[in-house]
Structure 1
Amino acid sequence: MHLKVGQVMTRLTICLYTHNTIEDALALMKEKKVPGLPLLTEQGHIQGMVSKEQILEKGLEGIAPEAKAVNYLTTRFIPVKEETLVEEVWDLPFELYPVLNSQDEITGVISKYQLGLALFQHSELRRQELEAVFDSAHNGILAINKQGIITSLNPAAEKPTRSTRAEAVGKFLTDVIIPTGLLEVVRSGVPAFGVKFQVGRRQYITNRTPIIKNGEVIGAVGVFQDVSEIEKTLQELRSVRHLNDQLKTIVDSSYDGIIICDDQGEILRCNPAVERILGLSAPELVGKHFRELVDRGLFANNIIQMVKKESGPANILERPYADHSLLITGNPVMDEEGEISKIVINIRDMSELLILREALEESKQLSQKYQSEIVELKNNIDPEFNLIVRSPAMEQVLELAQRVSKVDSPVVLIGENGVGKEEIARFVHQHSERKGSPFLKLNCGSVPEELLAQELFGGKSRSGRKSGLLERGHLGTLFLEEIEQMPLSLQSRLLRVMQDKELVPDEGQQALPADVRIIASTGQPLKELVDKGTFREDLFFRLNVVPIKIPALRERREDIIPLIHFFLKQNNKRYSLEKELASDSVELMLNYSWPGNVREMANIIERLVVTAEGKVIKAKEVNFVLYEREQDPERMVSVAGVIPLKDAIDEVEHQLVSLAMEKYGTTVKAAEALGVNQSTVVRKLKKLKET
């Protein structure tokens, strides 16, 4: 329903004329409680508008009560009709409007304030009506935003979701209910209609639609209806209206033999399957009593008598030792008085059923196998590796890692710092045939070349010969972090070990077995380094058999909330606390870019659990920790002139590394303060010394 001007205007029975004074005008405005009045000619035509605002613009000291109102007249006005919609007048430019009826007679005035108040009250009423409709709707309604957070849940949706509105709103969808496809609608922007799903024994049909604003998908809404009772009612209605057609269709198309008898056992109808099973045609059966078949030796027992005796279903196995064992089932059909009116006999050839059962059992076992593998990949949390997977992107990574673990090919993990490359490497090792052998790791950028060579290939030490990781990792897995930092001279030696599966410690010495699977990680594509000449092409081709790119946390936002809950639970258990995150705190984290990825999140959650004042971690505490570095005055960098950007970046890096080493003394602490790997600090110091 739309509001019209006539419904909210101030009606006037008297207007101003040219002979009226300012005193008359103000008195009438006060009486009618309006900010202005129309001024008419003696012939009744509107000449203009006189408002309090116009009077006060000339100053109170300049107002003479006996001055004519016409002196304060403005002809800048727009008359509106009583039938005009309020929202149309709201868009007009003036603060006061005269109102005319259908005969163009002045009937009142309306102000911008009245228009705004009317629109607000009307909108509030509509909001209340819509909220009442939403809450009283028979169908369940659930809405989420584009991050997958539940924003609305009506009472009808509480039963199928098994969650109250208070428990659900503000939570991530999959933390509350079994996924209903809404997340896919948000991602794709494509609606889905008439999708059925089941909760317990109840069946529901749902329509899922994206919420679009200014051409962008900002969420999705799912409307679902319990169709269990509806389908039951429709089935009963069809049974009453089309009983004969249904009976014929069922009887004729059933693979099992079906015989329909009256309450005395006379055969009324049978289907073609009976001829196949019993070797008798329909004319030989219809009109006969079932006991005649027993008398002829076709059956050993009279199922009709058994059904009548039990007043319910009866089952019996006929010809148990013959080639075709028959399972005979009799079901009574009751009339309105509860008496048996018909008996439906089902005859099933059990030999065929046994074949189907074997096939079904085989299919079931295969399904269980696949299901266990899917659960293993998608179970969200693998406590052994701290892997949380909800996003399709990470599901693909984990599925690929699972497949790769079954073979022995080298693997290159590509991704930013902190995305979980080591966890994926451990996952591959633990699911491979090498899981009983060592998993060793080495950061190629954290140690100098000579020490790196000794760590990898072994060498002489004060206490004798020291074995290297390639030797100690025989039959196991070696994880080489930052492989791009390995010097070229060592790259050729590593390639030789990978090809020969053996290691020659020193010239002239006997070769040692070194059957080690290499899993390498890098923050940038190795092909680019090959093109620059800083990485051997032959080693690249030997390593890059199976590259796995691990997306940054900001690229798989479905994992953010589950990761938050995982680290929160982990730290609560570690410190014997029961901290919780406020909903707006979770939203802050959801919108954060996480430049340090999962490693940064783990550190931040631990810090919040330890330092938060109350049980509930507030948004302001989260905001301070997330953006603390941005708020730190020491982070301000100033420049005095324009220089090449690369030179400026190098200079700032040199200054930061020098200050960090001067302040903290060790590369480990300096790296922690700078938010980078220790290897990065070592590399920057080396470059600083060279310059």
Structure 2
Amino acid sequence: MGQVMSRLSICLYNYHTIGDAMTIMIEKEVAGLPFLNEQGYLLGMVTKNQIIEKGIENYVAGDKAADYLTNRFLPLNEDALLEDVWNLPFDIYPVLNNMEELIGIVSKYSLLQGYFLEVRSRSQELEAVFNSAHNGILSINKQGIITSLNPAAEKPTRTTKEEAVGRFLNDIIIPTGLLEVLRNGIPEYGAKFQVGRRLYISNRTPIMKDGEVVGAVGVFQDVSEIEKVLQELQSVKQLNEELQTIIASSYDGLIICNGQGDILRCNPAVGRILEAPWERLVGRPFKELVDKGIFKNNIIQLVKKQGGFISILERPFTKHSLVITANPVFSEEEEIVKIVINIRDMTELEFLREALEESKQLSEKYESQIALMRNHKEIGTELRYCSIIMNNVLDLAYRVSQVDSPVVLVGEQGVGKEEIARSIHFQSKRSKGPFYKINCGSVPEHLLEIELFGEGTFNGRNIGKPGGLELANQGSVYLENIGNMPLNLQGRLVRVLQDKMLQATGEKDRKSIDIRILSGTEKPLKKLVEKGLFRSDLFYTLNIVPIKVPALRERKEDLIPLVLFNLEQNNKRHGFEKVFSPEAVQLILDYPWLGNVREMANVVERLAVTANEKVISAEEVDEVLYEKEQSPLKTVTVTGVVPLKEAIIDLEQQLLSLAMKLHGTTVKAAEALGVNQSTVVRKLQKLKNNHGG
């Protein structure tokens, strides 16, 4: 813009008349002038067209120029490109620099003229490039008429530009597929065709305008010589790759030196055996390895002295006992041009023996786990893993299963605490005994007492209902959500565990029991003890071995194996062959899985059952995963105008009521609303007081 504008040395102000403006415009040969206020701020433009629009008969030279001011203008930056502004609607424009200072004006005519010159210059450049291109280029319009043909295309088409342009394609050359590209709009790349003995490769693409095919262009390249070279190169490349693969895959170390003893190539096994970065050895003399004490003998000198094959033993009493062989390669003049050195680590046999022994020990260690997976297929569904963190958890679970100590499993809902408790039981010496689960947070206190300790005689009647502790005798009891157990029942449980004697509710007699307690809790029991919600004596009795089970979002590497396993199970159950699309898998990986493995299993089953096609799409996964965003908690509807303070109070009450209804506790309601629990408690109390208790 700065190249085509007219720079201004004068502008119009409030004291100028329209006569002054006309005089200046005539002298400066411009169609308009900018009008500034006293602070130099651009208020508008005074143009000849504006004067004409007001009517010549109304023109009075003494009138103020401000009376002819128009704000129908658009300021342009001096760095603006002509191609971006040439078709703007006004006849004249003020031009500003990067400091927003007025530096000139430009007319519509100047823009058009400048843009025309630029387009013509570009056209000439493109024409020169087109004619100078090494590859042949031929284009046709929508009717199949040849519109352009460069000199490089005359040879493969066996015609000239003068003969071809303006004529139908099939009248000039043998059809090459360009008309097919014109008809279907689908590009075709790498098509080969032959003219005489010459081989050409062609790329054919449609010419698009406003989404419509208006022509097609073909680009030809003579690849006759290149094709021959490529075939030879491919053979050499294949042979070289085979040799590289052989060298790299060799378990023995291989070093190739030139006749002077400089290392030309070596394989990764050299680095493993010598415990040195093998890549850095290339280009260095073999003698350096001797000088650094890596080798005792310079086998290169021995080969040259002997004039033939050499085999020696290196470092026989060190960690790596090596057998090194060297074989010379001779030229036609009987000179040594290369030396191939082979290094074999003889201690590998000992390492293999030790590895076999270790493998045997590992096999024995996990034998019980394998038997568990075979005999109890229902166990371990949620324990599929490949992460280090979960491996550590299950390794600890296996170790504690070999003893009889109480275990507390700490983790969020749905992480698989019960599955781990089952695996501990079935890998222990109590595996033949019963495994009994009791949820301490799902039943009322009086029912939980009977569920735990049983019920004896009542008013002379022998009800005879045994509790879970009695039913699990000689086995294990899993107390889920033990943190929710009432304090008085905690006291009874402590006495049972300390005395190993059980007294049913309403029963005078006690009986001996032998059980192992496995507990599950969402929050560490120590925090509940500090808050007075859990007895310290029971805590110290149960919390012998705490195991923290990580949430699924903390072990994302386990997510895909779990998802695929659950999908496979649902496919078998329902006779499906469903699979996830790559995009769907990425959505699954990105999802936080706050409900952990349990939520994941439910989502996978739902997708397997409801997906329309064999491939479960990302859209279907997205709809299932994020449907919670449509919750009423995130929708506010206004039906009338009320005082803002009353509206805020009413909305707050609705949100609190809905959060408590959906989540049940003030802790979870506070998490959903994004506030502290104390805030929820205080506001609920205020709401209760406002409604009269």
Q: TM-score by structure 2 length? A: 0.48
Q: Which has the larger radius of gyration?
A: 2
